[in-house]
Amino acid sequence: MPAPHDASKQNAIDMAAARAKTSINVSTLRDFLYNGAAQWQKRERVSNILVSDPLFNKSQRPFLTRKELYIRGQALTNRLYELAENHKWTPEDVQLAFGVVSDEVLSINLHNIAFEPVFLLQASPELLSQYGDLIAKRGILGCYLQTELGHGTNVGRLETTATYIPETQEFELHSPTLTSTKWWIGALGKTSTHGVVQAKLILPGGKDVGPHLFFVQLRDTETHQPLPGRILGDIGPKAMGAYAATDNGFARFTHVRIPKSHMLSKFAGVTDEGKYVTPPHAKLSYGGMLYIRSGMVTAAGWLGAKAATVAIRYATVRRQGTLDPASGLESQVITYPSLHARLLPILARAYVFIELGRALSRSFDALARDLSSGNTSQLAEMHVMTSGLKTLVTTASIQDVETARRSMGGHGYSAFAGLGKLYADYVPSATYEGENYVLDQQVLRAGLKTFNLIFSNPALASASPADKAKLATRLPGTSRYLRLLLDPSLCPPDCIIHPADDVVGTAISLLEWRAAALVKEAAQTQKDGTPDATATQRVAKAVTEAFVGGTREVRVVEKVYVLYLLTTLESALVDLLSFGLYVPPKTEAAGDPARGLRLAIGQFCKELLPEAIGLTDAFGYSDWDLDSALGVHDGRVYEALWARAQDEPLNQTEVTEAYEASIKPMMLRGRRAAGASAKL
Amino acid sequence: MPAPHDASKQNAIDMAAARAKTSINVSTLRDFLYNGAAQWQKRERVSNILVSDPLFNKSQRPFLTRKELYIRGQALTNRLYELAENHKWTPEDVQLAFGVVSDEVLSINLHNIAFEPVFLLQASPELLSQYGDLIAKRGILGCYLQTELGHGTNVGRLETTATYIPETQEFELHSPTLTSTKWWIGALGKTSTHGVVQAKLILPGGKDVGPHLFFVQLRDTETHQPLPGRILGDIGPKAMGAYAATDNGFARFTHVRIPKSHMLSKFAGVTDEGKYVTPPHAKLSYGGMLYIRSGMVTAAGWLGAKAATVAIRYATVRRQGTLDPASGLESQVITYPSLHARLLPILARAYVFIELGRALSRSFDALARDLSSGNTSQLAEMHVMTSGLKTLVTTASIQDVETARRSMGGHGYSAFAGLGKLYADYVPSATYEGENYVLDQQVLRAGLKTFNLIFSNPALASASPADKAKLATRLPGTSRYLRLLLDPSLCPPDCIIHPADDVVGTAISLLEWRAAALVKEAAQTQKDGTPDATATQRVAKAVTEAFVGGTREVRVVEKVYVLYLLTTLESALVDLLSFGLYVPPKTEAAGDPARGLRLAIGQFCKELLPEAIGLTDAFGYSDWDLDSALGVHDGRVYEALWARAQDEPLNQTEVTEAYEASIKPMMLRGRRAAGASAKL
């Protein structure tokens, strides 16, 4: 390996200089992001233990086959719990540890996040006492079998059947068709011993009462062989080599009998005779899904944080193009507006999503308290909120990771840059836990429902302004924008965004007016039967962005929040312009009304620029966390790329085995054809 | 494997019905796309030979390591040329064969497309006679070493030096720094014996006259060991496991001497004494780069064609959601506007880009004729055109492949869906052959130059309308939109798009007015020193889209072309609205002016829908070409997914080796902790 040279020294100098320029207190902000200094230190303790264990080393990971990655993933899981035992980690410590290894996509997550919560929430007390502790301690390993080869999001159309047999007090699970094969089930392929299966409950006489949950043993707990009547396996590799450590699997059931007690019957059941017992609080079972979706908001924030850290660090030390008069060197690429205008909004969204996720998890805790006392009044609002946010944050963060990767030019395409793996592992989030297009429909439906409830109410016409104002205050968070339509004295701000204005107030107001205009139009076109193909997405986005913009808790670092608002407005320009919500001030000559907004964004980016490294350092990621040659803390990116390339398996022999096999014969033929001798 | 069942039968029925519904003549259209029936049959002949050779089987490809994929790639290359010899293929046949195996990303492409053309174009007659035939017959294998660890697109900043030593009449190649290491060089890692190196030419006395090309032997032609003074290797895996068969490599040179005759000196040279000989026609050397970029337009079209074929076929047989009253089954998802409004524009872009590529290659042939006679007058126009188009088509097609993949829901994320690999292999096209942001700058610069040339000319003010009209006719293709600003009697169409209107004329006019407005504003903001961060991209896109829209040759299937124009307009709405180019007609009440456009798109989509399968069949892709379980010709997608999953290496043993190693110990610990016995 060649000795470090000037450029690498310069890398380190540039990074140190950028760090010195930051005016924010990095450790204070970091502690805040991690819920306080104590939590940060806890994470550090756990993280240090993992990092110093050779099993968790990532350097050879890019060279492993999928099978090796699966086997490694199981070894990591086993070791993590061993460490938890050795170090007497609390459940919270264990959760922190899983956060630290989140880029390993371990299949145990399906046990912890899908199988166990569903079981705990819906199992009968008897089943719970029999298996609850075994599941909690991972004495058995589970998965959650919902999706089938033929159907996913649309649960009502699942084909797997569970037929009740009163004679033996059993259910018979069966996969009647190829398309009823359970498919995509995480941890089913080669790992799980048990599972919770979604199947249509068929009563004696043949009545189908729709999908219910059944606890089923899949593999022998001693030999790990599939039990009779179960055909089990892995569904094969995922796109772009992603999610390799997770064994998404398939299962076909052939007349598999399970005891009646293995139905998860807390909210629905069957009498011994086979009479269906209607669930009293069926909606209570939705809680789990909402929990997963609200967790996805936080996760999207931290993912964006990783992408922003890597790309901003690389852009800080990479010098290209025009000469910087101060140093006589080429300019740091982060100084180019075309580059930092791409990266700083990613940073801003990361901050907003992290804080939004925190606010959401507080709302979720409140909801869980309500639900446990049978109060479902907030469920619908929470459902709309998490549906809209899940789509918003996953769509944005997928794009952000790719924008960050592409901002790094050619080297961004190296596996060692790290962002390719992040992208490939994250991109299915647009589809899982509710397909984004389907969730958008639910946001639209809820928006229209509230709109029609208010504005189709004949009493509204004669309501007094005071009554309307009272009604406005009662609107739930995701519908607050509708108050704008209740007060005829209100009108959209007609000022152009300008740094001297009340930027925050104007921006939030514009986002709300946009939501109101779009929902109003959607109500009209729905009545006319003429919605267009993209209306659903535009309405859902508008409603959700109005909600996020007005969420007080996301206002942590002022300039970051403003940049978030302005770039959100910029992405909403088509709506704003087409509804006449965004027009040039009367004093200005005709011109591009979007220009003021774009210049304001440029101005805020410029002001944020000296804080960029500090704001990313505050995310607290170590080099081990990032696993990126371009995102190294000390900035020595070229040395890191060089070092990592030396590990490539093709480099372990000077002459490739393809030489004798293929390259040499090809060249010899060529030399013959060219009339040259074999030896040149 | 379970027997086929109803859903699979239904798949086949749905596909056959869709095929029967098509009114276009598929084989006529296909022959047209392939430059005539004779060409299509030639491709078929070549393709059949490859498909029937077991080496070209792709079924195990998703399971191979990167090293195995490289070795396989070399074997395929060797075999392809063997087949060419055995079947006496013409050079054109060989080219067709490479088109057929384009998804193998073979490193020989770098010899054929980069190394050989550069050598042929720029080598001196002596060097050509010595090596030309060997290179053409692949008696030696080459690569093109331009990019370095520290610099890519910005060739002027490359650090590798070639110092002329008059005493020995040699050049000394040297890598003075770590960042000067040649990096990313395709086929360099483990394959090439020779290369053309970009290096700064240093004259005796130390004068640096900038980058020039040198022909250098890298490896021994007998042992394949690197020659002394060369450190060679592979740079490691690419993001998302992509481009695995290509050995992108690195090279460091330590005072490597090469004979003076090995400089590629057709356009520049050094006298024996070390005097620089100024190139008479330096620009002639740009031809190669333009050729590669114009080829990228066609390639983007065929890539989009693949994505559209797979996604439209799957959407045709996939049934989800609301019941279709005709059949009593769930509806085919392609009937949902939210889905076909995403897929049909991809199909439209594929047609437009394929034909655009064909038109461009004709322009390129004309240019090549000009250049060979020393006429460089069309070079600048061709440069702008290919720069703008390269950015436009790669940006669109990357997005289109991902949109198509995501439209397939969960299964789109399976490696067996095929589009993940297409995406990962294609996404670097945004960066290679000219980074898209950099190319956009060149389009902007050219646009401003032409604009200022015309409108800053004091003579213009006093020019007669006839003179201005004459000037307008002399504008080159990519600047034609500027004629709108030369005739004050012209104004933008004020009608909203409506199927009954002259949609094509209005759309092209709007695209041209948008280009004119943006360039005019850019000229102003450049003068004021206040451009915003996205101006460059918006101008380049506007200029290029106006050019494409007005290119007569892309008007092959009328409705497809119109859909292309309308969706292009939709993506341009921010510009159109902010410049007041797109306003509701005076007769219509206030409302969303974009609505008419969106409804028109919906209407055209609906009319195109029955032709979707025919239009994709016309691309002529076989199941082997597509390598997608979801894009199979007969529609039996679920059987295909099932069959392919059985090949997964994890499924080759019923119990994974991770069981004894990790899963069992973890469960035994868990059972102990839960107070259960080890045997449950």
B674 vs A235: CB contact, 8 Å cut-off?
Answer: no
Give pLDDT, residue A1. 39
B665 vs A157: CB contact, 8 Å cut-off?
Answer: no
Q: Which of A302-316, A472-486, A614-628 has the lowest mean pLDDT?
A: A472-486
Chain B environment of A579 (Cβ under 8 Å): 592
Determine the residue type at A596. G
Give the tens place of pLDDT for each residue, A183-192.
999 999 999 9
Task: Name the residue facing A663 among B191, B656, B666 (closest C-beta).
Answer: B191
Give pLDDT, residue A461. 82
Give pLDDT, residue B588. 44
Q: Which residue in A191, A85, A72, A213 sits closest to A140, CA to CA? A: A191
- B8: pLDDT confidence band, cut at 50, 70 and 90? confident
A530 vs B599: CB contact, 8 Å cut-off?
Answer: yes
Q: Is the pLDDT of residue B499 over 90?
A: no
Give pLDDT, residue B156. 84
The rounded distance, in Å, linking the Cα atoms of A98 and A116 is 16
Q: Considering the candidates B104, B355, B433, B512, report the single residue annotated as catalytic.
A: B433
Give pLDDT, residue B589. 44
Chain A environment of B66 (Cβ under 8 Å): 63, 649-650
**Closest approach of chain B CAs to the CA of A292, in angstroms?**
18
Q: Is the pLDDT of residue B584 over 70?
A: no
Residues contacting residue A282 through CB under 8 Å, at least 6 positions apart:
A267, A268
Q: Which of A101-105, A213-217, A497-501, B658-662 has the lowest mean pLDDT?
A: A497-501
Chain B environment of A406 (Cβ under 8 Å): 430-431
Tell me the percentage of chain A whose pLDDT exceeds 70: 95
Binding-site residues from annotation of A for FAD: 147, 186
Q: Which residue in A466, A550, A481 sits closest to A520, CA to CA? A: A481
CA dihedral sign, ordered B373, B374, B378, B382:
positive
Q: How many CB atoms lie within 10 A of CB B279?
A: 15
C-alpha pair distances (Å), A105 with each of A99, A302, B20, B203: 11, 15, 45, 56
The residue of chain A nearest to residue B654, with distances taken between CA atoms, is A225
Check if the beta carbon of residue B74 is closer than 8 Å to that of residue A662. yes
Give pLDDT, residue B612. 98
The rounded distance, in Å, linking the Cα atoms of A45 and A391 is 34
The rounded distance, in Å, linking the Cα atoms of B507 and A247 is 50
Check if the beta carbon of residue B132 is closer than 8 Å to that of residue B123. yes
Give pLDDT, residue A584. 52
Domain A40-100+288-424, second-level architecture: Up-down Bundle (1.20)
Q: Is the pLDDT of residue A281 over 70?
A: no
Q: Which residue in A138, A123, A235 sits closest to A183, CA to CA? A: A235
Determine the residue type at B259. P
Give the tens place of pLDDT for each residue, A612-642.
999 999 999 999 999 999 999 999 999 999 9
Highest mean pLDDT among A56-65, A325-334, B488-497: A56-65
Residues contacting residue A372 through CB under 8 Å, at least 6 positions apart:
none
**Closest approach of chain A CAs to the CA of B490, in angstroms?**
18
Tell me the three state secondary structure of residue A680: coil
The rounded distance, in Å, linking the Cα atoms of A389 and A399 is 15
The rounded distance, in Å, linking the Cα atoms of A41 and B240 is 34
The residue of chain A nearest to residue B240, with distances taken between CA atoms, is A240
DSSP H/E element including B163: strand B161-165
Domain ranges of chain B: 142-280, 291-636
Residues contacting residue B525 through CB under 8 Å, at least 6 positions apart:
B531, B532, B535
Which residue pairs from A524-528 have beta carbons closer than 8 angstroms and sit at least 24 positions apart in sequence? A526/A448
Task: Based on the residue annotation, tell me whether A433 is a catalytic residue of this protein.
Answer: yes
Chain A environment of B541 (Cβ under 8 Å): none
DSSP A139: S
A235 vs B648: CB contact, 8 Å cut-off?
Answer: yes
- B496: pLDDT confidence band, cut at 50, 70 and 90? low
Which whole number is the average pLDDT over B408-419?
A: 97
Give the tens place of pLDDT for each residue, B40-89.
999 999 999 999 999 999 999 999 999 999 999 999 999 999 999 999 99
Task: Name the residue facing A649 among B67, B532, B656 (closest C-beta).
Answer: B67
> What is the residue-wise DSSP string for B58-127?
-TTGGG--HHHHHHHHHHHHHHHHHHHHHTT--HHHHHHHHHHTGGG--THHIIIIIIHHHHHHHS-HHH
Give pLDDT, residue A591. 57
Give the tens place of pLDDT for each residue, B437-457.
999 999 999 999 999 999 988
**Closest approach of chain B CAs to the CA of A624, in angstroms?**
18
Q: Is the pLDDT of residue B495 over 60?
A: no
Residue A387 token pair: 């549906």
B238 vs A658: CB contact, 8 Å cut-off?
Answer: no
B419 vs A239: CB contact, 8 Å cut-off?
Answer: yes
The residue with greater pLDDT, B155 or B299, is B299
Categorise residue B457: left if φ over 0, alpha if ψ from -120 to 50, beta otherwise.
Answer: beta
Residue B187 token pair: 């086929």
The residue with greater pLDDT, B619 or A471, is B619
Give the tens place of pLDDT for each residue, B140-154.
999 999 999 998 877
B139 vs A667: CB contact, 8 Å cut-off?
Answer: yes
Q: Is the pLDDT of residue A282 over 70?
A: no
Q: Is the pLDDT of residue B327 over 90?
A: no
Chain B environment of A137 (Cβ under 8 Å): 669-671, 673-674
Tell me the percentage of chain B whose pLDDT exceeds 70: 95
- Secondary structure in 3-state letters for A404-449: HHHHCHHHHHEHHHCHHHHHHHHHHHHCCCCCHHHHHHHHHHHHHH
Binding-site residues from annotation of B: 147, 186
C-alpha pair distances (Å), A355 with each of A35, A87, A295, A521, A549: 10, 31, 12, 32, 12
Fold of A142-280: Butyryl-CoA Dehydrogenase, subunit A; domain 2 (2.40.110)
Residue of A105, A592, A636, A669 for testing the chain B interface, max B β-carbons within 10 Å: A592
A148-171 burial, b if ≥16 CB within 10 A, otherwise e?
Answer: bbbbbbeeebbbbbbbbeeeeebb
Give pLDDT, residue A588. 44
Q: Which residue in B79, B90, B74, B92 sits closest to B49, CA to CA? A: B79
Quick one: B291-636 is in which CATH superfamily? Answer: Butyryl-CoA Dehydrogenase, subunit A, domain 3 (1.20.140.10)
Q: How many CB atoms lie within 10 A of CB A500?
A: 6
Give pLDDT, residue A537. 96
Check if the beta carbon of residue A104 is closer than 8 Å to that of residue A73. yes
Q: How many CB atoms lie within 10 A of CB A183?
A: 28
Give the tens place of pLDDT for each residue, B543-582.
999 999 999 888 889 999 999 999 999 999 999 988 888 7
Chain A environment of B415 (Cβ under 8 Å): 236-241
Q: Is the pLDDT of residue B92 over 70?
A: yes
Determine the residue type at B667. M
- CB contacts < 8 A (A, B): 465
Binding-site residues from annotation of B for FAD: 147, 186
Task: Name the residue facing B252 among A2, A85, A179 (closest C-beta).
Answer: A2
Residue A75 token pair: 């070894």
DSSP H/E element including B141: none
Highest mean pLDDT among A433-437, A597-601, B353-357: B353-357
Q: Is the pLDDT of residue A587 over 60?
A: no
Q: How many CB atoms lie within 10 A of CB A235?
A: 28
Task: Name the residue facing B674 among A8, A133, A427 (closest C-beta).
Answer: A133
Give pLDDT, residue A554. 87
Give pLDDT, residue B534. 93
Q: HSE (CB half, 13 Å, CA atoms) of A578? A: 26
Check if the beta carbon of residue A355 is closer than 8 Å to that of residue A393. no
Q: Is the pLDDT of residue B260 over 70?
A: yes
Q: Is the pLDDT of residue B462 over 90?
A: no
CA dihedral sign, ordered B99, B104, B110, B116:
negative
DSSP A500: T
Give pLDDT, residue B374. 81
B224 vs A655: CB contact, 8 Å cut-off?
Answer: yes
Determine the residue type at A517. A
The rounded distance, in Å, linking the Cα atoms of A521 and A519 is 5
Give the tens place of pLDDT for each residue, B177-213.
999 999 999 999 999 999 999 999 999 999 999 999 9
A239 vs B406: CB contact, 8 Å cut-off?
Answer: no
Residue of B574, B637, B660 for testing the chain A interface, max A β-carbons within 10 Å: B574
Look over chain B and give the mean of its residue pLDDT values, rounded to a whole number. 92
The rounded distance, in Å, linking the Cα atoms of A143 and A205 is 31
The residue with greater pLDDT, A311 or A506, is A311
Give the tens place of pLDDT for each residue, B218-242.
999 999 999 999 999 999 999 999 9
